Amino acid sequence: MGLLMSQDDFARALREAGDRAGVPNDANKRLVQRWEAGAIASPRPAYARALEAVTGLPIASLGFTVAVPRVRVSDDGQGGHDLEAPVAATPVPNGGPVPRTAPVGNYSGVWLSRYEYYSSGRSDTFTGRHFVVLLQHGDRLTVRSLPGSSDAPLTMDLTVDGNVITGTWVEQTAPEGYYRGARYHGAIQLLAEPTGRRLAGKWVGFGKEMDVNTGPWELVFQDASTNKATLARYDRRPEPE
C-alpha cells in the first residue's frame, strides 16, 4: 500500500531487483500473499535482498525474522558459517586473505547524505541533504532516503570495490519546489575514508539544458542500527549547517 503497488506489481519489482543485482528470483503474486498472511516468517536470502532493494527498508522492519546462518561442519571437524559461496580472496602482507571487492566491515546503517549543486537559473550554489538508509549485501549497496528527511526522495544503487564505491543516483524533486517535480539521475563515485565513517566523492548528471554538471557529494555515518526506533528518530529534516 505504501508503494502504491498491486501484489503483481510488487512481485514484478522484486524480480527486476533480483535481475539488476545478478541474483534472479521467482517472486509472484502467490508468494507476496503468503508473506502478507504471515505464512512465511523468514524469506530466503535472494528474496530478502530484493525486498530490501524495492522497499528501501531492512528486512527486520518489514515484519520478518532474520534468518540465523546455518553451520557447516568442515572435514576437519571445525564449524563454520556458510550461507553463500566464498568470495575469491587476495592475500595481504600483514594478515589473512581479504575478500576481493568486499569492504572491511559493513556500511549498513543510517547516514547523512549531502551534495552541492549550482543552479544556473538562480546563479547560486545550493546543498541537498537527506537522512538515508544504507543496506549492504556483499559488494552491493542500496541507499534510500527516509521520507521525512526531504520532499525530494533520493535513491542510489552502488557497488563496492575496496575503498572505491561506484554507482548511480536518482532524485525526484519536490512537486511544489523550484524544479517542479523533475526527475534527475546520474552517476556517482565515492572514496571511503579509513575509518569507514565517511564516503566522499563526486556526482555527475544532466542539467535542464542537457549540459553535464558535477559537484561534491558525501555521506557521513550516523547510526549502525536500522531498527524501527532508529529509523523513526532520523525520519526528519537534517539540521541546517
CA gap 7, 27 in Å, rounded = 10
CA gap 78, 72 in Å, rounded = 9
CB atoms within 10 A of CB 195: 8
pLDDT above 80 (res 220):
yes
pLDDT averaged over the chain? 82
Pairing, β 98-99 against β 109-119: unpaired
| pLDDT tens-digit series, residues 84-133 | 333 333 333 344 443 333 334 689 999 999 999 988 888 899 999 999 99
Q: Which pLDDT value is given to residue 216?
A: 97
The CA-to-CA distance between both ends of the chain, in Å, stands at 35
Span 213-231, average pLDDT? 94
pLDDT above 80 (res 236):
yes
Q: Which percentage of the chain shows pLDDT scores above 70?
A: 83
Span 67-87, average pLDDT? 39
Confidence bin at 67 (pLDDT 50/70/90) = low
Q: Identify the residue with better confidence: 198 or 82.
A: 198
Looking at the structure, give the CATH architecture of the domain made up of residues 109-234: Beta Barrel (2.40)
CA gap 52, 49 in Å, rounded = 5
Handedness of CA 232, 233, 236, 238 (dihedral sign): negative
| pLDDT tens-digit series, residues 135-187 | 988 888 999 999 999 999 999 999 999 999 999 999 998 888 788 878 889 99
pLDDT above 70 (res 223):
yes
pLDDT above 50 (res 7):
yes
Q: Which pLDDT value is given to residue 81?
A: 33
Confidence bin at 78 (pLDDT 50/70/90) = very low
Q: Which pLDDT value is given to residue 94?
A: 42
* Cα angle for residues 95, 96, 97 (degrees, 5° grid): 125
CA gap 110, 223 in Å, rounded = 5
Q: Which pLDDT value is given to residue 2?
A: 67
Q: At what angle do helices 7-21 and 45-55 cross, to 10 degrees?
A: 110
How many Cα atoms within 13 Å fall on the side-chain side of residue 222? 20
- Quick one: which H or E segment has residue 55? helix 45-55
Q: Which pLDDT value is given to residue 166?
A: 97
Span 56-73, average pLDDT? 64
Q: Which three cell numbers stand for residue 113?
A: 547524505
CA gap 239, 241 in Å, rounded = 6
Residues of the chain with CATH 2.40.160.90: 109-234
Span 192-214, average pLDDT? 89
CA gap 106, 86 in Å, rounded = 16
Q: Identify the residue with better confidence: 209 or 217.
A: 217
